[in-house]
């Protein structure tokens, strides 16, 4: 499930400098902490706390992020303050992965609109609540689109994502950055089924 957690009602000043770069394996605990903080913000209202906690414990652990940071089939990016003496806590992160989607629904949708794979999935893109409305999400997205070009086996591969169908704010953000809705899928969060839209990036 992806969500940029975009423009809130009250925005914050942009950091003096933001650097988007590949995450290092030794930063996995920091990124996992941010994932645990931000994942519930993307879930539909009313999602049980236990369901969200179970998903985080099963899929967003430091070991997962360490593996993704070291993988040549994934790109794990972090947005950090680029200033002397700044904190090492990431302002946001994004995860991309190359290959075939896990779900049959996604495969069917993507093959019908983008041809045979492989594809690159923008699996996750989240921003720290304190950085909402600061422009960090846009910079992180630009970095993610650039990183996707290097994950295809031969040049650029189609870039796609799935996000909750009720998350209009996230969908507006993705459309602003070149994505369009091309289909739908069912996404499981701790045994609870959610209706997602599938979006494809059009360069």
Question: What are the tens digits of pLDDT across the range 130-150?
Answer: 888 889 999 999 999 999 988
Domains plus CATH for the chain? 18-201 (3.40.630.30)
Mean pLDDT is lowest, of 25-29, 72-76, 153-157, for 153-157
If you average pLDDT over every residue of the chain, what do you get?
Answer: 86
Angstrom distance (rounded) from CA 80 to CA 27 = 12
Q: What is the per-residue pLDDT across 107-128, written as a single tens digit (0 to 9) for each? A: 999 999 999 888 999 999 999 9
List the one residue out of 130, 170, 176, 172 whose CA is nearest residue 14. 130
Q: In the sheet that 119-127 helps form, which strands lie side by side, from edge to edge?
A: 18-22, 74-81, 92-99, 119-127, 159-164, 192-201, 179-189
Angstrom distance (rounded) from CA 5 to CA 38 = 8
Which pLDDT value is given to residue 150?
Answer: 86
Could you tell me the pTM of the whole model? 0.86
* pLDDT band of 179, cuts 50, 70, 90: very high
Residue 41, CA atoms < 13 Å, CB-side half-sphere: 21
Better pLDDT: 155 or 12? 155
Helix (H/G/I), strand (E/B), else coil: 97:
strand
DSSP string, 175-198: HHTTEEEEEEEEEEETTEEEEEEE
What are the two backbone dihedrals, phi and then psi, of residue 200, each rounded to the nearest 5 degrees? -120, 140
């Amino acid at each position: 499930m992806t969500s940029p957690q975009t423009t809130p009602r009250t925005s914050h000043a942009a950091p003096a400098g933001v650097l988007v770069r590949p995450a290092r394996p030794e930063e996995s605990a920091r990124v996992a902490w941010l994932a645990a903080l931000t994942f519930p913000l993307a879930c539909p209202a009313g999602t049980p706390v236990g369901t969200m906690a179970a998903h985080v414990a099963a899929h967003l652990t430091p070991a997962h992020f360490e593996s993704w940071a070291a993988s040549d089939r994934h790109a794990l990016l972090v947005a950090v303050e680029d200033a002397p003496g700044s904190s090492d806590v990431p302002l946001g992160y994004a995860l991309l992965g190359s290959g075939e989607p896990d779900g049959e629904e996604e495969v069917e949708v993507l093959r019908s609109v983008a041809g045979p794979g492989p594809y690159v999935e923008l699996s996750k893109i989240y921003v720290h609540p304190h950085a909402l409305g600061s422009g960090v999400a846009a910079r992180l997205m630009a970095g993610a689109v650039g990183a996707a070009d290097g994950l295809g086996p031969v040049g650029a591969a189609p870039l796609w994502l799935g996000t909750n169908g009720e998350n209009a704010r996230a969908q507006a953000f993705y459309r602003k950055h070149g994505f369009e809705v091309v289909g739908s899928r069912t996404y499981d969060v701790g045994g609870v089924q959610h209706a997602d839209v599938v979006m494809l990036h059009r360069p």
